Amino acid sequence: MRQIFAGILVLICVCLFGSVLVAENQMGIADKYQVSFSEKVWVANTLLPKGNYEIRHIMEGSDHIMVFRQLGPKRPIEVRAKCTLVPLDAKATRNETAFTLNAADEHILHEMVFKGDRAKHVF
């Protein structure tokens, strides 16, 4: 009897965990991306040098976090930026990055869209 109860409890936990994953990724957000910046870019109060970056989308509680990690150098820069997911009408057909400019004419990351996702990341 205990084995049946334990089996049912495990099955319920697996189903709940699976439903959380499905609900979280209903906007088709990938866990990992790669991006290349041709100029220095401000991301979350950090000025990133131009270059290639791996971006991971992670959750911290209910917060969406994008982790930018520089590719290549022995001591890569890593920056965490909170983002808001804004649903798109359809799957994105291409990658897009939007910037604003500060008083020093430097790029500040404003939003990113990745091909295949159904939401954009707004910073």
pLDDT 10s digits, 13-25: 434 344 334 434 6
Q: Which of 28, 34, 94 is nearest to 69 (CA)?
A: 34
What φ, ψ does residue 54 adopt, rounded to 5°?
Answer: -95, 135
The bridge status of strand 107-113 relative to strand 41-43 is parallel
Would you say the pTM of this structure is higher than 0.85?
no
Which residues contact residue 109 at a Cβ distance below 8 angstroms, ignoring those fewer than 6 apart?
41, 42, 43, 81, 97, 99, 123
Q: Which residues are paired to 99 by β-bridges?
A: 109
Give the whole-angstrom CA distance, residue 20 versus residue 36: 32
pLDDT, tens digit, for every residue of 24-71? 467 789 999 999 999 999 999 999 999 999 999 999 999 999 999 999
CA distance 6 to 80: 40
Question: Does the pLDDT at position 8 exceed 70?
Answer: no
Per residue in 83-115, pLDDT (tens digit) is 999 999 999 999 999 999 999 999 999 999 999
